[in-house]
Copies of this chain bind each other. A is one copy, B any other.
Amino acid sequence: MIQLSLDQVRPWFTKDHENRLQSLAQFAYRQLLDGQVDAFGKGWLSWPVDDHAELYADIDKISDQLTKVSDVTVVIGIGGSYLGARSVLSMVYPEFVDQGKHQVIFAGQQLSGTYHAHLLKYLDNHEVSLVVVSKSGTTLEPSAIFHTFRAYLEQRYGNEAASRICAITDAQKGTLRQYALEKGYATLPIPDDIGGRYSVLSAVGLLPMALAGIDYRQVMAGAAEVKQRYDNLDVADNPSVQYALARHVLYQQGFAAEALVTYEPRVADFAGWWQQLFGESQGKDGIGLFPTMLQFSTDLHSMGQYVQDARKMLVETVLDVEIADAPELVVPQGLDEKNAYLEGRTYDSLREVAIESVIKAHSDAGVPNIRINASGEAASLYGELVYFFEIACAFGGYLLGTNPFDQPGVEAYKTEMKVRLQK
């Protein structure tokens, strides 16, 4: 269940302004849902309600095979082939909670020799399988790291290595597909008209979920539920659209950055997924809010001073997530006199008071605060949140006049790099 509150943003995004924008919003929303502009890249829109029986059967079969022969799967990917899967695992398995009997570890998300050399040493004490996620198979980090870990598996398992490897890649073409066919790896497809940052509900995210023992059908059900509800809403009642409108107007007023503010450590990685979604979809053509993250209350004790008292360039979007499996913990008795007012409080209730107090203090000081409340079971709620933000992001792109499905700026440094490496 996701709810939006714009109460603390009204000094900037007035009801009148909101009303004046509704017909424009209605038009842009229909353009997203039904239009032909940037039609390529909209595969994610109907994805949660499409029929995936065949895909699910393949995922289950591969997941069963890999978990049968190994207790650790290394999942190699970067960007959209990494941030989504990482964020759902973090949300379902908070710190100090094991991923059941099977552990998923991410790699190839950077180039650190230190990280990967130590990971290889760690693997020596485990039975290992490998998933590589790359549409083209030519992205530098996952390609190099894939071959490093592939070579490790071949050295360790010989001919048996191939049965421990799955490639998630383009369904038809590309160097990774060809390599996987030659080697006899299992494969799963990355849909053609779903870009990386919108792909977490495809095999890209679903296989890692399955490996980690997450009921991915519940994730899909959460996304489908939001889709079906929002499709039938007037834009004025659509919280996804209203969130996009509020941040759109704030950007026009000169705010430079938006921080997704989380209060639960298990939700922090979700902000990383959100950052890519908005950064790549709207950060182009010289425009776009800089998407960043704050983890409260941790960062209140480092960035609170800035937010309260510095240049007013920041918008805060508070994502208050309550997950059904959260254990209750209570402040005990016997505190010193100055802290005695905390006795008997649950930590969850303290968090709620903190959220209220911070929103009040910051918005009073000139920092617009948007509030999103979300509650439910971890898996289905994850699906809801994904679809909620995807709609908001793509709709917002149409409003800005940017193409929310391309990323023309990501090639520049890659081109520089290839020139230098191929010299």
Contacts and interface: CB of A to CB of B under 8 A. Distances in A.
A198 interface: no
B279 A113 contact: no
A136 to B, nearest CB: 9
A357 interface: yes
A117 B79 CA distance: 32
A177 to B, nearest CB: 10
Nearest to A323: B114
Given A78-B297, A356-B420, A412-B361, A302 B287 contact: no
A416 interface: yes
Nearest to A309: B409
Given A112-B265, A263-B110, A413 B361 contact: yes
A408 to B, nearest CB: 7
A275 interface: yes
A113 B327 contact: yes
A309 B334 contact: no
A284 interface: yes
B143 A301 contact: no
A296 B110 contact: yes
Nearest to A274: B302
Interface stretch (A31-39, A48-56, A310-318, A380-388): A310-318
Nearest to A348: B113
A283 B414 CA distance: 35
Given A257-B256, A297-B141, A361-B412, A265 B115 contact: yes
Interface stretch (A17-25, A221-229, A339-347): A339-347
Contact of A302 (B120, B140, B280): B280
Interface in A399-415: 407-410, 412-415
Interface stretch (A60-68, A92-100, A185-193, A201-209): A92-100
Contacts of A338: 137-138, 175
Which of A114, A122, A272, A420: most chain B Cβ within 10 A? Answer: A114
B347 A112 contact: yes
A171 interface: no
A140 B343 CA distance: 12
Contacts of A276: 301-303
A286 B298 contact: no
Contacts of A284: 305-306, 309-310
Interface in A321-342: 323, 326-329, 331-332, 334-339, 341-342
Contact of A412 (B306, B365, B410): B365
A50 B175 CA distance: 60
A60 to B, nearest CB: 29
A297 B360 CA distance: 37
Given A113-B326, A143-B342, 19 more contacts: A78-B298, A95-B115, A96-B118, A110-B295, A115-B265, A141-B301, A148-B331, A256-B290, A257-B290, A275-B303, A279-B310, A280-B302, A280-B305, A286-B311, A288-B306, A290-B310, A341-B421, A362-B413, A364-B412
16 contacts: A113-B351, A116-B347, A147-B339, A147-B342, A256-B256, A257-B257, A276-B303, A279-B305, A283-B306, A288-B306, A310-B409, A313-B313, A341-B421, A353-B417, A354-B417, A357-B413
Interface of A: 78-80, 82-83, 94-97, 109-122, 137-141, 143-144, 147-148, 151, 175-176, 178-179, 197, 256-257, 263-266, 272, 275-276, 279-280, 282-288, 290-292, 295-298, 300-314, 323, 326-329, 331-332, 334-339, 341-342, 345-348, 350-351, 353-354, 356-358, 360-362, 364-365, 407-410, 412-418, 420-422
The 5 tightest CB contacts between A and B, nearest first, are A79-B301, A283-B306, A309-B409, A276-B302, A283-B310
